[in-house]
Structure 1
Amino acid sequence: MYVEFLAGPTTREIGFLLNITDAERCDGNLTATSQEGNFTSLSLTNSFYSNQKCTWIIKAQNENDAVKVTNIFSREDAYGEISSECHHDVVRVYDGNTTEGAPFPGELCSTVDRTYYSSGNTLSVVFESLTSEGVQLKYTAIPESDCNRTYYIINDPVYIQSPGFPDPYDSDLKCVIFIFDLRIFPNLRLDVINADIEGDYPQCDNDSVSLFGGYNGSYRPIGQFCGNSSVSPVGPYYSNGRSMKLVFKSNSNTNGTGFQVVVSHSNREVVPYQSENCGPRYLTATTNPEFISSPGYPVRTPINADCIWIIKASDPNMTVQIDVIDSDIPTHPLIHIYCGQNRGFLYDEPWSCGGAVDLTTERERTLTAPFERLITQDCLWTIHAPTNTNIKVDVDRIKFLFPPSCNVSYLEIYDGNYDNSTSTTHGKSCGDSNTDFISSGNVITVRFHFNVSNRGMLRMVLKAGHFSASRTTSLAASTAYQAITSPNYPFNYPSNVESTWTIEGDEGYYVGIVVIFSSLEKSGGCQKDYMEAFDGADSGAPSLGRWCGSSQPRIMASSSVMLLKFKSNSHTVDKGFWMEYAMYKYHTKLQDITSSGRLGVIIGASCEIILGIN
């Protein structure tokens, strides 16, 4: 470093004193060995590196070893409690030697105890938002065969990969991985992102991943998978308690690349365990008929029996058929048959009220169903697309004989499998207007509820491919109010979306917006999901405000141009927003507008939105 001091001929100031010390670099490479190493963000804050982004790449000295990184102390917050969120220094950990496209296992900070492992021999550690709090980490190399792990879920999901993924895993492995919930959710959910495990599903005679769930150390089987996830029907799996155990085994002859899974919190209700003598819960249907019977059949069934069987076809291109051969159940029906995770399935109907639909990228599918029977029904379709694709839905007709209330007849689309415990969080569509939906993954569930007092028609076009909900849109403002809604509205917006709207009015006018409904993921400083308005045609213009949660601002630009930006992250999604825009002759403060006409539009639209989502 070179320092130069210049003083003029008449200067009579006190001067300065500099303290010169070595400063840790804000990036670099570290080598992990069997001996623990330590590094910290604390020394970075004593230099000009404060609030910088620093990346460290930690590589195991032995190519066949993995890297383990742990936060070695926690700090109490202002209330004397251990916080579950990172408010100060933030350390993000990526699997591999790059942050671009790498799995993002999670984040560490001075208030969260976490441990992360690499699937190969490299981890990337990124310091952000450096303060005087400091984060101190220790790192070490562990043998790849030492694959036993323990993970704790606080806020973010946990990503777990097989040793060496995506390179082939070793032979004769037995990896036992425990996952514990620290936020008192009733369930944990495991989704299979990728799987290439030697063996045929569902037998899994060679290599396999076995899953166990439970509470207080008592574990019961909840599922098993192997083979290739692109052709085998796997997941999601639920722990049925606050902990989960994953056991990965390989034999002496392996050639698969392994697996990637993600475990997250779930509000799904705990399902009672199988009663004695019910037999296995998970069954596989083949072309040879198999039989299910009540406990003790044909002798009288024991009291308080509770049996649940989940049946999957051995071929993903086939469906499951059930024929009730004999039934002697007194007083009221207690046999419930579900298709996928759907409600009520009747075989004597001339049309299919729900079921499983498999999509391919080669052609689109049209789902059409007339609802003319004088019954009240709840129809659900579980729709699957190939792995690594997503689904676009064009709902071009929801028509009823009588205009319905959304509490009586409605359509819901769920991003993923249907979960009854979260059904109230999804939006509803109940009118004639066209609706588009783009999923974030390769599974959606369509739920259509219609009432005995109505009749109608549902028609939707389903496509599998690579679709993005992100949009760049140019809009022309007029003196009449026009609407802007979030992607997929009135259904939940997808994750990882970035959409912009450029609104232009006539010269001499001012563009303004009124947010009528807003339900975005709430976060400090609106750093996660948010909307932001800019006083100009691009994001380089001055910000007019950023909002999230349930905020409903009214904003006016200083000219005839305004840019709106919506961004969602990879975590929580919500219902989204509805706003209206127009151009004004005068630069009026929108919150001061009191004309009965404008208030009528706002109140009327607000009532319509409330009916549409409750």
Structure 2
Amino acid sequence: LQIERHDNCAYDYLEIRDGTNENSPLIGHFCGYDKPEDIRSTSNTLWMKFVSDGTVNKAGFAANFFKEEDECAKPDNGGCEQRCVNTLGSYRCACDPGYELGPDKKSCEAACGGLLTKLNGTITTPGWPKEYPPNKNCVWQVVAPTQYRISMKFEFFELEGNEVCKYDYVEIRSGLSSDSKLHGKFCGTEVPEVITSQYNNMRIEFRSDNTVSKKGFKAHFFSDKDECSKDNGGCQHECINTVGSYVCQCRNGFVLHENKHDCKEAECEQKIHSPNGIITSPNWPDKYPSRKECTWEISATPGQRVKLTFNEFEIEQHQECAYDHLEVFDGESEKSPILGRLCGNKIPDPLIATGNKMFLRFISDASVQRKGFQATHTTECGGRLKAETKPKDLYSHAQFGDNNYPVQADCDWLLVAERGYRVELMFQTFEVEEEADCGYDYVELFDGHDKTAVRLGRFCGSGPPEEIYSAGEALLLHFHTDDTINKKGFHIRYRSIKYPDSVHTKK
């Protein structure tokens, strides 16, 4: 458009009307150099008139005209499943709120993802209960009030993939960003355990590739107030949050008071079976009483070693610790080898048992009393284990059966048989992150005392290896995990037997 310019287009102009003549509704008078927007008539006729006066001449105008069909007026609604939007020369399909266009740009499917602020609700894959479509990326961000935690429970789960989750998967994180703490990456048909967020928000991301589709998943989320986040729930020692409530728990050496919040000193003989906890001298943090003898028998998961780390230590000093003292034994009683007899004010170095049992005995005399001690008992994987003719158990981690194995672990177990015998290894349970070359998490076996010995194999996945036999008296088991996906772990039974030298694994 290049027509002599005037504010009111009084000299040269192009006049366009919506109809058949100069009395039809005026669409506009146009002049100057600004190209008008595309113009569409309301009927099948458009009237145009060009006028120039006797003075200034310009290049004029050039326009394309064509008949515009309203495809959306057809009986089939333009082929659109829900809404048809007519455009100049064409049309497009649209969907109702809560739906989005499918890959064919005509059908509509349930939209996925979004911000959810309800205390509870349901999340499903797109198209549920039909198969989810390919090439989907859905992100749900669930936000609960402060002091709340969010739990996710799956009712149904069926995604393409196996242990590796390369293709279709769902990721669950504590937090709202894509780099928040990862709780797990899931695929296949195994229904994940209930997942609870660390904070008051949770991110759920679902991805599907362009090939195989499955039924998907249906999950329920619910928010629960974390009473422990404020004033420790009123608990004197530890507060444990539960769904809809909370419970107070006392440290080792104490029992819960009748009021269910305070803790009082327990009897002085304790048997401890938890993988970690705190041990204190009687009456801690006040001075221990006189004429006291207390014992603690700590039992950890078979295959794990008990570790004792002192946080505070103040016991009556004596060069030979003849008066008040703490004795630590490498086994289940005071008849086991002693790891240390301790007294004084210097914090001792950590003590590690060779096996899954440790025994502590504290004795105070009739005279001087001090503050005592506070120590943390934990577990460490690995160690030297004696294989006997009676089978023994070995578990991948201390909380086997309750939690998946930890990330970034490197554990070495040396299994040594009796003289003249071989080691037999039988996998009872085996579930380790799967990868074609077992490059992420794996169990590796060596036919000897160290990793220079012949390697018997590297194993991962969910199929337990067959029985394994050493050629000599020793077998080294190495367990490695990376920093991402963790699984159930493994349970092994081992013993010493007589077996031909040339055979390693049962065929």
TM-score w.r.t. length of structure 2: 0.36
Larger Rg: 2
